[in-house]
Structure 1
Amino acid sequence: DASRQTQDQVGVYLQDQAKFGDFILTLNGRHDWVFQDTYATPASAVSSQNDSAFTGRVGLGYILAPGLVPYASYATTFTPQVGFNRSGQAFKSATGDQLEAGVKYLIPGTNIQTAFAGFEINQSSILIPDSANLAFQTAGGAVRSKGFEAEATANLAPGTNLTIAYTHVDIRFVNSIDSTGQSIAGNLVSGIPQDTYASFLTYAFPPSSPLRGLQIGGGIRYIGASYADDLNTVRNTAVTLYDALVAYDFAALDPKYKGFRAQLNGYNIFDRNFQTCSFGFCNRNQPATVIGSLIYRW
């Protein structure tokens, strides 16, 4: 018999930002209430689970020089999880905390904006396979993530923009066991690459061009190798994908069409066939995909 679960979530959120000289302080807080009803079978009695939590974030930045802002922040997280364990009980919500520090820099005399951040994230009660019954999951996992992100955006010339991003992350289990009952504490989480890179270049034809209003672009995505299992014995191979963009701004035809834009986005345009395995399961990744959009902004 099919099982059924309903989940409702209500939250209130407050944020404030204040500036004291060259210091910028950001504070926000949120309180959530989650209500879940689980029916293991249509004829079974309802199992209710209500949960609530307060989460918040505090961040402090300092304007060290024009365009140069180092910052640090601390945040807590609360994430309700859909589903239930082999006993028919709803999963407890995942919780965590994040510490981040970095710097944002607008290089003087240029249109180049850079950012670098290091972080550490701790999460508990995440879903992992249930070693007693592989058809189910249990909210008994805990992981620690450490890494850094670097990003740069640049206007290289009129109408020409480049974005580059690189991420290195090390996500390891803290106190978990795998589906066979073996300890995987200290192992890397499967299916998550340690290194990813992306760059995208766009060019918009100038107003004096017969092709005015047209924008084209292309990019590269590199997805590094990852482990295919939580015992860290088998690897998913690295893969490089290519994307493309073609867009047209109808304001180039007539100013009365300002805000109208047609856009085609192509992902994995060379149809690279690959799969990613994690937690003992393998999935074929997105084949060549084209998405068309008609956009109006006002």
Structure 2
Amino acid sequence: MTPMLSRALMPLLLMMTALGTQAMAQSQPIALGEIVVEADGAGLNATSVRSTAGSKLAVAVTQVPQSISVISRKQLDSSPGPKADAALRYSAGVSTQTYGTDADTDWFYVRGFQAEQTGMFLDNLSLYQYSFGTFLVDPYLLESIEVLKGPASVLYGGATVGGIVNYVSKRPTGERFLTTETGINNLGNAYLGIDGGDVLADGDVSYRLTGKLSGGGWETKNARDLRGVVQGSVTYTPSDATSITLYGTYQNVDLDHTSTGFLPFIGTAVDAPGGVRIPRDLNYGEPAIDLYQRQQYTVGYEIEQELDGNWTVRQNARYAAVDVNEDNIYSSGFNALAGNQLVRDRWAHHTKAGILTVDTQLVGQFATGPLDHTLLMGVDYKNYRHEAATSYTGNVGNLNVRNPVYGIPFTPVTLNPGDVTNMQQLGIYAQDQIRLDEWILTLNGRYDTANTTIQGAKTTTRDENHFTGRLGLGYEFGNGLTPYVSYATSFNPTLSTDPAGIPYRGETGEQWEAGIKYEPTFMDGLITAAVFNINRNNVVSPDPIPGNLTRQSPVGSVNVKGAELEALANVEDVTIRGALTYLEAQVTRATGTTELGKSPTRIPTLTASLGVDYNFTDNLDGLTVGAGVRFLGDSWADEANTTKVPATALFDVSLRYERDDWSVALSVSNIFDTSYVSGCNGLNSCGYGAGRTATVSLKKTW
């Protein structure tokens, strides 16, 4: 362990020691069950301590030997917006919007590793993404968001070693309800949402319908969007032992150029010669030709059948598809010595992607002597298909960043058919959570077989088989303190290809983690702390800059050491949420000498956040005021580690008033409108973070 990491961990270790001393000193231990802690009145949930992300079972997060963050529906309501990645800003171990305010893609890193491509899940089923075949999930459709940190392959198959983000959809509640909501932000972007459900007279069938329509301005000038999404679900429960849910979603997005990313370092993070800065709201596209159209849908089912009092069989299946048309101008360089000119390229594509996932599980509870077992056995299958026709044109015309003039003539684009990629993966897995008094032993094993086929000028294929496992041990004190230690491995097949078009070997990885989870008995809250060491092998270097998407180069291996601290609690009328993350990342094996021993880009060494809400009582009952601060530490902008993206601090405020069935809220993120760069993937690919965004909303429960 390096001296720097030791110094960073010292406060964390001291806090863990203090928590342990306090917990041991309590005179009357209380056995914890699977408690859901909630605040009274207008406060946020202190925590949603039940999660399925870490075990595929709805258990307390304290029983999972890995760190888990849960963003509840109340937390999502406190910061409304169209992007799910913005909801993760106050979570430990997560960096979001690393390419700026990109309206068509959610960007997030978990424990220093890019996760939105292979680490995005919806209802515990993969939403695998590749190139521009991305899926967008509107947070209005969600009940919560779960972040499982560290390897997840033992449960989900292919997934990045840093962790996964699992979106949990709204489902029928078995009750009649209706809520309507509307709002608008300072950019002129407004929305209208409706969420309602009911149960039929006999009580066997319940349904829920959720829809949202939004549109208006974005961060850049002359940028507009129009979005519509609807989600419906029906649950049939003919008996207490049987549940069948059918669901589907449809989304349509039409937007103009709304990106503040893919800009040069000089002119954004630092001044260009002459003191020139590229304006954050610069629309560097061509409004006359900018095109982005997305259609996306999902259909699926969830079936659960209780066989007897101790055994249950479940099957979840879904097909998700997306169709994206894009014709946009992107930045590719800046020359402030030649008239403040931003060099631009044209990138167009028509991408279709679809993924079929099926997960079948058998869950049972039994005892062998003094040992209590919760056994999960399953088999899952994933079939992903991606095809794209593309066109890339370099240097289509410069733009003066101080006096932009649009209207350069463009000819209709001709798309060139590209490769058709297909990946199939079949996995067999088992998990046994064994309890002996207060001891919890978690054993996982999984065997995967994967096939990747690339059909282009020639057909290439790669077959792989891999075993992954997890071993975790925890001790659950009766006063709410649970220390644990775990070891887990991962496997992640890749669609990246070498210059000959042959798929690279799948990534592998491993993680050691030790931590503590504390649910105090004297207040509503959850405090978690962890230290970890992650190795990621067979890494290739993805580059989302247009024109460099399919042929990538191997990097080798990356190691990340780190520590996390996260807390969410209600103390009387105050709700507190805080997070602290420290990361040391290093390329430990590389094909070249540039990256070896260096840190990958876009990984801040230190991030932290603290938010406080105060819930008034008496004459001001129903009023909640909140304030928060987010610190984003510096990160390397280039692979050679010669240039750093500066650190920044951002401040948020909120105001909410609830009375009877009405609520009105105002939330302002980055209230001082601080201009900053959220991250760079090289000196010509940086992204501005979001400026001040103020949203006022009105909600009615009928």
TM-score, length-scaled by structure 2: 0.36
Contact kept, 8 Å, 1:268 with 1:286, in 2: the verdict is: no
Cα offset, 1:183, TM superposition: 4.5
- Equivalence for 1:258: none
- Structure with greater Cα Rg: 2
1:243-280 deviation line (CA, Å, top 9, x unaligned): 45566779x329xxxxxx99886544544333222345
SS of residue paired to 1:77: strand
Q: 1:72 to 1:47 in 2, by over 3 A?
A: same
> Could you say which residue in structure 1 is the equivalent of 2:531?
118
Match for 2:490 among 66, 77, 99? Answer: 77
CA shift, 1:140, in A, is: 3.7
Give the deviation of 1:204 after TM superposition: 4.6
- Is the alpha carbon distance of 1:48 and 1:116 closer, same or farther for their aligned partners in structure 2, counting shifts above 3 Å? same
Is the counterpart of residue 253 in structure 1 residue 253 in structure 2? no
Q: Between 285-294 and 104-113, report the one with greater CA deviation.
A: 285-294
SS at match of 1:16: strand
Q: Letter of the aligned partner of 1:169 in structure 2?
A: L
Residues 229-254 of structure 1: per-residue CA shift (max 9 Å, x gap): 2221111100122345566779x329
- 1:274 paired residue number: 676
Paired residues of 1:9 and 1:34 also in contact (CA < 8 A): yes
How many Å apart are 1:168 and its aligned residue? 0.6
Amino acid at match of 1:82: L
Shift of 1:102: 1.2
From the superposition, tell whether residues 243 and 17 of structure 1 become closer, same or farther in structure 2 (CA, over 3 Å): farther
Maintained 8 Å contact 1:81/1:91: yes
Is residue 62 of structure 1 aligned with residue 475 of structure 2? yes
For residue 157 of structure 1, the aligned residue among 566, 572, 581 is: 572
Match of 1:35 in 2: 451
CA distance in 2, matches of 1:182, 1:224: 26
Letter in 1 for 2:565: A
Q: Is 1:145 matched up with 2:560?
A: yes
Residues in 2 aligned to 1:12 and 1:264: alpha-carbon distance in whole angstroms = 48
Distance 2:694 2:455 in 1: 40
Q: Distance in 2 between the 1:6 and 1:291 partners? A: 42
Seen in structure 2, the aligned counterparts of structure 1 residues 281 and 55 have a Cα distance that, compared at 3 Å, is farther
For residue 227 of structure 1, what is the amino acid of its counterpart? W
Provide the C-alpha distance between the structure 2 equivalents of 1:53 and 1:294, rounded to a whole number of angstroms: 51
Check conservation: 1:129, 1:279, Cα contact below 8 A: no
Where does residue 176 of structure 1 map in the other structure? 590
In 1: Cα distance, 2:577 partner to 2:532 partner: 21
Deviates more, 1:162-171 or 1:97-106: 97-106
Confirm or deny: 8 A CA contact 2:496 2:540 kept in the other structure.
no
Q: Distance in 2 between matches of 1:222 and 1:282?
A: 22
Look up the match of 1:21: 437
Q: Deviations over 1:1-59 (max 9, x none)?
A: 4422233334344332221122111122333333322134xxx1222223332222111
Aligned ranges 1:233-244 → 2 under 5 Å: 233-244=642-653
In 2, are the aligned partners of 1:91 and 1:138 still within 8 Å (CA)?
Answer: no
SS in 2 for 1:174: strand
Shift in alpha-carbon separation, 1:198–1:9, aligned structure 2, 3 A:
farther
1:33 partner amino acid? T
- What amino acid is aligned across from residue 646 of structure 2 in structure 1? T
SS in 2 for 1:3: strand
Q: 2:636 aligns with which of 217, 221, 227?
A: 227
Mapped to 2, the partners of 1:292 and 1:28 lie a distance apart of 46
| 1:148-207 deviation per Cα after TM superposition (whole angstroms, max 9, x unaligned) | 11122221223x311111011101010114xxx42533222222111010122234555x
Q: Is the 8 A contact 1:168 1:195 kept in 2?
A: yes
Distance 1:71-1:293 versus aligned 2 partners, 3 A rule? farther
1:105 equivalent to 2:518? Answer: yes
- Normalised TM-score (structure 1): 0.78
> d(CA) in 2 for partners of 1:263 and 1:16?
45
1:103 Cα deviation after fit: 1.5
Question: Which residue of the partner structure matches residue 187 of structure 1?
Answer: 598
Take 2:619 and 2:697, find their aligned partners in 1: how far apart are those partners? 24
For the residues of structure 2 that align with 1:247 and 1:215, how far apart are their CA atoms? 5
Q: Gaps (5+ residues) in structure 1?
A: 255-260
Q: 1:106 to 1:21 in 2, by over 3 A?
A: same
Question: 1:58-83 CA distances to partner (integer Å, 9 max, x unpaired)?
Answer: 11001356222211000001123333
* Other structure's SS at 1:6 match: strand
CA contact (8 A) 1:128 1:141 kept: no
What does 1:208-227 correspond to in 2, within 5 Å?
212=622, 217-227=626-636
The one-letter amino acid paired with 1:253 is D
Q: How far apart, CA to CA, are the structure 1 residues paired with 2:450 and 2:667?
A: 37
Given candidates 608, 611, 632, the residue that maps to 1:200 is 611
Distance 1:231 1:204, change over 3 A: same
Distance 2:575 2:471 in 1: 33
Q: Counterpart of 1:93? A: 506
SS in 2 for 1:95: strand
Paired AA for residue 18 in structure 1: I
Contact kept in structure 1, 2:473 and 2:486, CA below 8 Å: yes
Find the aligned partners of 1:2 and 1:241 in 2 and give their Cα distance: 44
Kindly provide the amino acid, as one letter, of the partner of residue 99 in structure 1: W
Task: From the superposition, tell whether residues 25 and 265 of structure 1 become closer, same or farther in structure 2 (CA, over 3 Å).
Answer: farther
Indicate how the Cα distance of structure 1 residues 223 and 90 shifts in structure 2: closer, same or farther if over 3 A, else same: same
> Aligned AA for 2:500?
S
Contact in 2 for aligned 1:191/1:226 (Cα 8 Å): yes
Q: 1:119 & 1:148 partners in 2: Cα distance? A: 6
Distance 1:269 1:55 in 2: 46
Residue type of the alignment partner of 2:645: N
Asked whether the equivalents of residues 92 and 139 of structure 1 are also in contact (C-alpha less than 8 Å), the reply is no
Looking at both structures, which has the greater relative contact order when contacts are Cα pairs under 8 Å and sequence separation is at least 6? Answer: 2
CA 1:32/1:268 → structure 2, altered by over 3 Å: closer, same or farther? Answer: farther
Change (3 A) 1:85 1:273: farther
Of the candidates 277, 285, 289, which is equivalent to residue 688 of structure 2? 285
**CA contact under 8 A between 1:264 and 1:293: conserved in structure 2?**
yes
In the alignment, is the contact (CA less than 8 A) between 1:120 and 1:144 conserved in 2? Answer: yes
In terms of mean alpha carbon deviation, does 31-40 or 231-240 score higher?
A: 31-40
